[in-house]
Structure 1
Amino acid sequence: MKLLIDECLSIALVELAIEAGHVESAHVTRRGMQGWKDHQLMHAIIDDDWTLVTRNSDDFRPRSGSTSQTPCYVGQPLHAGLVCLNLPADSGRSGQIQYFQTALKHIGNPGDLVNKVLEVDPSPENVEQVVLRVYDFPNDKV
């Protein structure tokens, strides 16, 4: 599994991915994709079989009943997966690391998120804890 870390996240997450066994993982800025628009990034993600890790999940995850721009994964019949770290707004690097480590434990090695979205959210009961949601995308309900 190749994890592509979005530019909105710390480059330190790449090392965590590599240590977890995802040795082909990279950061958007180290792949010459810094500043790319979502639709440009989406072409590279699909063409090169990346699993994207992002903090800007609204740009990529499915939305029901939305009238705004269609998210990038809509219309993709096959993709290597999406990991959304839905951190609180004031979270820094340590929060990113905590959320990503939780995601990596769930994914495992070699890992497989084909046509799945993994979202890591703050727990509504305790902001120190996280909640994982995994769902198929595309699916018949979206």
Structure 2
Amino acid sequence: MQKLLLDENLSPTLVDVAHAMGFVCSHINFLGLNCAKDWELKSTILDGDYTFVTNNSVDFRGPAKTPGSQGVYSSISLHAGLVCIDATGGLNLDRQKRLFVLILSDIEKHGDLTNQVLQVTLTPDGAVELSRYSMPR
């Protein structure tokens, strides 16, 4: 089963949601890495074989139109997956929980994210779009 690691910009309470659904999950804060720079998380993510979940998508995957061209994951040839949440209007706790359950359900249904990005987009009208693509391409 994939191990998930949540970025500090997401609520630590999401770890309990993951555990309730049978996932192994931790949070950057629990590893003592709060306030670490994005690039400083790279070794922890890779060494721990974590699928990383963030709403700081650009810093990890690069621009949405050219994923992998920049960002922390641009030089990684093998990774356990990346979940990028783009939410117009921000993410309060209710939105985070709603999206996280959808993310976990997608992983249950479609399998692991090795060398993939699960792109989660919350549109201004409240619709949620999920898509997967390979990275590196």
Same-fold call, TM cutoff 0.5: yes
Matched to 1:10, the amino acid is S
Q: Write the distance in 2 (CA, Å) between the matches of 1:45 and 1:109.
A: 23
Structure with the largest fraction of helix: 2
Q: Deviations over 1:71-105 (max 9, x none)?
A: 00011110000011212233310011111111111
Identify the residue that residue 20 of structure 1 maps to in structure 2: 21
> How far apart are residue 120 of structure 1 and its match?
0.8
Residue 116 (structure 2) aligns with: 116
CA displacement at 1:30 relative to structure 2: 0.7
Q: Which amino acid aligns with 1:57?
A: S
Supply the distance in 2 between the matched residues of 1:29 and 1:123 (Cα, whole angstroms): 28
The alpha-carbon deviation at position 109 of structure 1 amounts to 7.3
Unaligned runs of 5+ in 2: none
Distance in 2 between the 1:35 and 1:88 partners? Answer: 24
Q: Which has the larger radius of gyration?
A: 1
> Which stretches in structure 1 are left out of the alignment for 5+ residues?
none
Identity across the alignment (%): 39
Asked if 1:52 corresponds to 2:52, the answer is: yes
Amino acid at match of 1:138: P
CA distance in 1, matches of 2:53, 2:4: 7
Q: How many residues align structurally?
A: 134
CA RMSD, Structure 1 to Structure 2 (Å)? 2.1
Which structure carries more strand by proportion? 2
1:1-142 alignment, distance < 5 Å = 1-23=2-24, 25-63=25-63, 70-108=70-108, 111-123=111-123, 127-139=125-137
In structure 2, the CA distance between the partners of 1:78 and 1:92, relative to structure 1 (3 Å rule), is same
Structure 1 contact 21–110 (Cα < 8 Å) conserved: no
When normalised by structure 2's length, the TM-score is 0.89
